[in-house]
Amino acid sequence: MRSPTAADLSARWDGIQADFAGLSNDADERLSTEHIEWATVIFVMERRQKTRLSQLFGSALKGRRVICLNIPDNYTYMQTELIEQLTPKLMSHLRTSSA
């Protein structure tokens, strides 16, 4: 529930459009090349996801910023502690991207 929380938080800020998709086979929405082409910045929650992303979509990632937020997978959707971790990290990177 980290990614949907991050997408929903990000979409609240002016000028930011956000979406989320997963890398696992059981993801509700699987990441595609179209997602990557649409994105300016791609956030992953763990280093292993960044590695997997590169393995699956290496050439499509050229020119894209991929940022690892280092958020463990032990939160529920919009859990207060998750929001407290995500907000400053997202703000820092999104400010840089939109400037």
65 lies in some domain: yes
97 lies in some domain: no
98 lies in some domain: no
Domain, as residue range, for 65: 2-91
14 lies in some domain: yes
For the segment 25-43, what is each residue's pLDDT rounded down to a tens digit? 998 899 999 999 999 999 9
- List helix spans (H) across 18-78: 33-38, 47-57
For the segment 76-92, what is each residue's pLDDT rounded down to a tens digit? 999 999 999 999 999 99
99 lies in some domain: no
For the record, the structure tokens of 69 come out as 């937020």
* pLDDT for res 97: 56
7 lies in some domain: yes
Going by C-beta distance under 8 Å and a sequence separation of 6 or more, which residues neighbour residue 47? 68, 70
* pLDDT for res 28: 87
Q: Alpha-carbon distance 20 to 26, whole Å?
A: 14
* pLDDT for res 41: 94
How many domains, in total, are found in the chain? 1
The answer to whether the CB of 16 falls within 8 A of the CB of 8 is no
Q: Alpha-carbon distance 19 to 59, whole Å?
A: 21
Supply the pTM of this predicted model. Answer: 0.88
* pLDDT for res 22: 93
19 lies in some domain: yes
Q: pLDDT band at 51, cuts 50/70/90? A: very high
